[in-house]
Structure 1
């Protein structure tokens, strides 16, 4: 039997497994509110919590067991290596010029509307909608569903490239890695909670100007190429990480189409410890946004504030504490992987290679949180962009159908199943023995089950407004 026939048969089996998994789990989790931080609907479930969580974790465990049945290295290598050319370098250059112009126009629009436009409610402002619906929701979704457009769109890079640079050093220091991006992303997540960025165009303007000064300053201190490509800029790193999940990838010859998630198996997606930290922030920040709008999170915040701590400090402390917990759990899994595989490969290298698989989970979580949000506010975005300085008082919003929760749940499950498959392909690349490769995956499967059960528990709870912050 040819390798292609085997691949087709394995793919069909994988699809059947995925459909069966979705069918079993969707009845359990459909009642939950996935977009906990973006919806006022309750996330109550009507079955025992222990059964709900056990079933959700069991879905991931079952998909892992099914994936481990695929041990044919030719099939695994074919999924990872196959690529189809899509466009030439000339086509990419033309597209980059068009997207670059749109990026500069978008940044100017946000600044002008937020600074000179009417002081309206956040989701009646073109600046707010373009930032959160256009950027945080839609553009990020495009990055992991289709391909990463940010290198061409990035307006701050276009500005930095016409400015003198290299005042500190021409090369970005390797020791800094992605740590500036990690710190900046954590700061942005914190500001999104404690500052009225989504409700006040004026507050958003200050944040945009502050971010512009930070990232253009970094590019001028070193160079635009090294600052934006090496991990100093948080948005560039954000889109590069999410873009690694997508089927369309940039190559030396232009563009190529690969299997979804195949890029995550490459050894240049996560190259240092700081990049691992950034991946974990992507996973944690979505979990954090669900925690602070549920009863356990609200009770924790109210208790700490009741002790006399400032609310802004409490939100920051919880954000950092949760990140630290995810960090410790992940490195514990890397250590256990080394023990289980009985290998001389270092724990650090194993952590670097398996970290990209978590990006598939982050993409699934992002889709579940923001798909309905983007669809609901899409007409509002169009209406306010048509008249940005005189927007309608009540922009149109869509109402989601009751069945859309199944789509959100499917996003979470597909992200986890893809992560399991990517871990499987990486294990078979790292270890020569089949049993050794299979044993090495167990700790990371446990981590994925842990992340799944934490998130499912949070989305099963009723949501409420986070206390002590501006609406």
Structure 2
């Protein structure tokens, strides 16, 4: 990803030569780690251990009171709204090009930062979304609720609108002619705001929960958070993330959401490979469109769609390739196993964008401290305060990246195995998982090669 003013190589580091071990060793080691994990859980893990209904440990009552306090919640929502207005001011009246704070706020603080926060404290975008806050304020004035919406949200739509929104975001980021263009980002945000608010005024607040790409994205990755709301006591509680993970809602479109997230991350690496860039440069003029730039965009768009489709179709096929189940359960298996993709998505997000979040995030905060480019140093922030500690230690960073990918896949194998014990007949609990295991190994090989070798 190379928005204007945020250009860097391989997300802040060099290439696979910075790996502390050869790439082939990393690939073989990762495959063995997954295979060994599957063998161990298959032989020693005979009964399901993870249950979303299993109670956690309640935090002190004052924590729940503070979280639930209308004062706390409105203060957090209004602060997020003020920050959104601050970024909008910078986008409209701030300096042009690379010195503007908008690309960093959009691509770094929102897209990547949302994952980091949601994995720690839960689905915060539901509270912080500026558009939700605008809708709440308008609803207070009109005294309307979700039940008072014009029409109910169609259940068959599920999360498909969010999947489309996420694809629109990654298309802007990875396939559009100029991802860093202030005009392009502002246009995307205006369309996003219009669609979200219009949908909310038709379907009520449920529209945000199903269609807002950032809210659905944050909700999905928050299933790895160690805290949640207890379904029994109603209090905030500590919980084993592997008990929390299977609570991912099973609705149409969830596999597509996760396929877009995982496929786009893989395509990000693939599109940075010299071979692909050279291929696009050679053939862009042959595409029957207006000019070379849009020819390249069309080719990148096709590649992005292909990657997302391959992830979705291979997972769908692996989930359904299970014997001993009736036709109804077979149809449900992709959705009921979709939560096992979340650790892989989170692992790849951190592997790809950790240095981007830490270092470009600091740069963005500095730009937000001077939104109009007038030499302000709000909160004492200055460009000299930015620390490029990860890029200065590439072997350490690559070790973290490999660990994120491998750990994500190991957790995914464990989660899929445990859920299979819940769902599959006893005589098919091992053989029924072989297709999914091979798919996970394929994801690991392809992901590591694209990330470190491509």
Shared fold (TM-score, shorter chain, > 0.5):
yes
> What SS class does the counterpart of residue 236 from structure 2 fall into?
strand
Pair 1:247 & 2:226 matched: yes
Deviations 1:20-44 (A, max 9, x none): xxxxxxxxxxxxxxx9752362234
CA offsets per residue over residues 358-401 of structure 1, 9 Å max, x none?
01100011111121112212432332232222266993442222
Aligned partner of 1:395 among 380, 383, 387: 383
Relative to the length of structure 1, the TM-score reads 0.80
- CA gap 1:141/1:197 in 2 versus in 1, 3 angstroms: farther
Kindly report which structure 2 residues correspond to 1:1-150, keeping only aligned pairs within 5 A, or say none: 37-39=10-12, 41-44=14-17, 52-71=26-45, 73=47, 76-77=49-50, 81-86=54-59, 89-94=64-69, 95-121=72-98, 124-150=99-125
Contact kept in structure 1, 2:52 and 2:246, CA below 8 Å: no
In 2 relative to 1, CA 423–221 (structure 1 residues): closer, same or farther, beyond 3 Å? Answer: same
1:137 Cα deviation after fit: 1.8
1:448–1:201 distance in 2 versus 1, CA, 3 Å:
same
Q: How does 1:302-341 map to 2 (within 5 A)?
A: 302-309=281-288, 310-336=295-321, 338-339=322-323, 341=324
What is the aligned partner in structure 2 of residue 369 from structure 1? 352
Q: Is the 8 A contact 1:103 1:155 kept in 2?
A: yes
Within 5 Å, which residues of 2 pair with 1:317-466? 317-336=302-321, 338-339=322-323, 341=324, 346-390=329-373, 395-396=383-384, 397-399=386-388, 400=390, 401-402=393-394, 403-431=396-424, 433=426, 435-461=427-453
Structure 1 equivalent of residue 166 of structure 2: 185
Equivalents in 2 of 1:261, 1:342: separation in Å? 25
CA contact (8 A) 1:125 1:384 kept: yes
Partner of 1:227: 207
Unaligned ranges ≥5, structure 2: 1-7, 289-294, 377-381
Distance 1:217 1:426, change over 3 A: same
TM score, norm. by length of structure 2: 0.83
Question: Aligned in 2, Cα 1:345/1:138: closer, same or farther, shift over 3 Å?
Answer: same
**Cross-structure match for 2:268:** 289
- Is 306-315 or 283-292 further displaced after alignment? 306-315
**Cα distance per residue 1:52-99 (max 9 Å; x no partner):** 53333222122222222432537x147972411225653222342232
Q: Size of the alignment, in residue pairs? A: 418
The structure-2 alpha-carbon separation of the partners of 1:109 and 1:354, relative to structure 1 and needing over 3 Å to count, comes to same
Structure 1 residue 293: deviation in Å? 0.5
Whether the 8 Å CA contact 1:82–1:259 is kept in 2: the answer is no
CA gap 1:372/1:50 in 2 versus in 1, 3 angstroms: closer
Decide which moves more: 310-319 or 364-373: 310-319
Instruction: From the superposition, tell whether residues 98 and 441 of structure 1 become closer, same or farther in structure 2 (CA, over 3 Å).
Output: farther
Contact 2:177 2:297 in 1 (8 A): no
**2:101 and 2:364 in contact (8 A); partners too:** yes
Moved more, 248-257 or 40-49: 40-49
Structure 1: distance between partners of 2:344 and 2:265: 11
In structure 1, stretches of 5+ residues that fail to align are 1-34, 463-471
Say whether the 8 Å CA contact 1:53–1:453 is kept in structure 2. yes
**Structure 1, residues 423-470: CA drift from partner, whole Å, max 9, x if none?**
12111212352x5323322211111111111111112336xxxxxxxx
Moved more, 106-115 or 392-401: 392-401
How far is 1:277 from its partner?
Answer: 1.0
CA RMSD of aligned residues (A): 2.9
SS across alignment from 2:237: strand
The CA distance in 2 between the partners of 1:36 and 1:343, in whole Å, is 49
Alpha-carbon distance between aligned partners in 2 of 1:391 and 1:311, rounded to the nearest angstrom = 37
